[in-house]
Amino acid sequence: MTELTTVTVEVETPYDVVIGHGVSRSAVSLMASDTRQLAVLHAPAVADRARAIAAEAENAGIRVLVVEVPPAEAAKTVEVAAYCWAQLGAASFTRSDAVIGVGGGATTDLSGFVAATWLRGVQHIVVPTTLLGMVDAAVGGKTGINTAEGKNLVGVFHSPAGVVCDLDALVTLPTADYAAGLAEVVKCGFISDPHILDLVEADLTMASRAGGAAESELITRAVRVKAEVVARDFREATTVAVDGIAPSPRGLPRVTGREVLNYGHTFGHAIEHVEGYRWRHGDAISVGMVFVAELSRAAGLLSDNAVARHRDVLAGLGLPVSYPVAQREPLLAAMGRDKKSRGSLLRFVVLENVSTSDAQAVPVLLAGPDARVLDEAFARTCG
């Protein structure tokens, strides 16, 4: 085990995100001392890691229930959640027991939802095994499942007892999955931390594969961005600044709460829905960031250079920067069901400028963009 980095998420009940090599088994130490039983929910691909955690718990005298769930988004259904509840019920799980989720973001979203809803809330510990899971789904206390109508429409805010990011798990991650995780890292660079973009652009080839020299720093910086935002607005109650905070230089309301983390997600989630979740989340969010960058340019908010930087960084990491199918109406319908929409009004988090060493990004809310602006963004991103 090498040097660890710990990022504390300062919410109502603070918890730590531990980042380092060989740290998976330490997840057991995060449980309350009176924990009697532990359910380890895991994706099929990480069964060995889940069994190692289970063995650690058994050695500590804890009864362990190991539950394998389907891979990826197939895990995030009410049917799978009900299966997990049935397993907990059969084992007579109480409020003093715990659930550990081991796997990618879909697995930890599900395990968090199961933990949050069983007896109205039991301990949840998160062991993400993908880059996307480490920098996005595992941090922030959002849990949820999908429905036929859209992604993450059913969920609960439920802070974990802790998060353990074992960088060893990334070594065997397929290249395409690693790149998809980098989309969320780059997002943090665009909305807040310019040094993330500098690190990535310094060596796109090195950044795009596991074990790169900057890997630990990139993950830590992305986690810190999310932790800082979540600490300000845990339940996504602050959609825009209203009290005592001036609008942006162009007069739009600034986005100061958790909604800023949805940069690129309205369009990205729409792609996932239209594609039946066959697209990787990070791939869809990559295209989503290009779409809102184009939307912002069309609205006169973002420069040509800033839009080009979006495309260059994301494409340089092997991520898609366009959606190859012109399905405007299904995409619009899916965006209309997005959690950020209000009635029939589409709402997008956009940028007035990208973070650099000399200037901070200005995330703003673009609500109800006119048809010309939408048309231009669609034309430059789709088909």
| 258 and 152 share one domain | no
Percent above pLDDT 70 for the chain: 93
Token look-up 């960088």 returns: 167
Last residue of a domain, one of 114, 138, 170: 170
**Residues 278, 165 within the same domain:** no
pLDDT in tens, 187-222: 999 999 999 999 999 989 888 888 888 999 999 999
Q: Does residue 17 sit in the same domain as residue 154?
A: yes
**Residue 256 maps to a domain:** yes
Which pLDDT score, from 0 to 100, does residue 236 have? 74
More confidently predicted of 235 and 128:
128
What's the confidence (pLDDT) of residue 166? 95
CATH of the domain at 84: 3.40.50.1970
Residues 119 and 265 in one domain: no
**What are 137-184's pLDDT values in tens digits?**
888 889 999 988 888 889 999 999 999 999 999 999 999 999 999 999
Q: Is 382:322 a contact under the CB 8 Å cutoff?
A: yes
Summarize pLDDT for 218-265 with one digit per residue, the tens: 999 999 999 999 998 887 776 554 444 555 556 677 887 888 999 999
User: How far apart, in Å, are the Cα atoms of 219 and each of 20, 68, 170, 230?
Assistant: 10, 27, 12, 16
> Lowest-pLDDT range, 101-105, 110-114, 141-145, 341-345?
341-345
Q: In terms of DSSP bridges, do strands 123-128 and 98-103 run parallel, antiparallel, or are they unpaired?
A: parallel
| 152 in the same domain as 16 | yes
Domain housing 133: 5-170
Q: What's the confidence (pLDDT) of residue 212?
A: 87
Which of 170, 205, 222 delimits the end of a domain? 170
**Residue 360 CB: number of other CB atoms within 10 A?**
13
> Residue 253's pLDDT is what?
73
Q: Has residue 229 been placed in a domain?
A: no
- Does residue 344 register a pLDDT over 50? yes
Q: What is residue 219's predicted lDDT score, i.e. its pLDDT?
A: 96
